[in-house]
């Protein structure tokens, strides 16, 4: 190339930008300290992917080391209206 300039293809530049967004994700980790009591739970929202949500939920389960066995789920687009009773109402739930 004349002048020693190296230009990245525009498509490559756009693909690099897509990995740099700061928008919150739509997955929430829902951890139940007691597997038999689903009325008590801890929610950590805004994971970008299901796999990030799963990793966080498992880390949280290990941190609380529940005597009740514990359980977790990852919810997609959960209700965040501010009502704590509705936090586990999600469009989709996976483990």
Q: Which of 84, 95, 90 is nearest to 26 (CA)?
A: 90
Provide the residue range defining the domain that includes 44: 25-94
Residue 2 in domain: no
pLDDT of residue 11: 40
Residue 58 in domain: yes
Q: How many domains does the chain divide into?
A: 1
Instruction: Kindly tell me if the per-residue pLDDT of 12 is higher than 70.
Output: no
Residue 4 in domain: no
Residue 52 in domain: yes
Residue 5 in domain: no
Please tell me the distance from the alpha carbon of residue 60 to that of residue 32, in angstroms, as a whole number.
10
Residue 6 in domain: no
Instruction: Kindly tell me if the per-residue pLDDT of 6 is higher than 60.
Output: no
**Average predicted confidence (pLDDT) for the chain:** 79
Give residue-wise pLDDT tens across range 25-57: 999 999 999 888 888 888 899 999 999 999 999
User: 81: which DSSP letter?
Assistant: S
**Rounded average pLDDT over 18-24:** 58
**Position 14 confidence tier, pLDDT thresholds 50, 70, 90:** very low
Residue 53 in domain: yes
**Greater confidence, 74 or 68?**
74
Residue 14 in domain: no
Q: The pTM is what?
A: 0.69
């Amino acid at each position: 190339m004349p002048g020693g300039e190296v230009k990245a293809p525009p498509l490559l530049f756009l693909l690099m930008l897509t990995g740099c967004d700061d928008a919150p994700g739509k997955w929430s980790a829902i951890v139940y300290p007691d597997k038999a009591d689903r009325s008590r739970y801890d929610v950590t929202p805004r994971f970008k992917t299901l796999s990030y949500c799963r990793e966080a939920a498992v880390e949280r389960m290990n941190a609380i080391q529940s005597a009740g066995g514990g359980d977790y789920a990852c919810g997609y687009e959960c209700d965040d209206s501010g009502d704590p009773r509705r936090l586990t109402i999600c469009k989709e739930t996976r483990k």
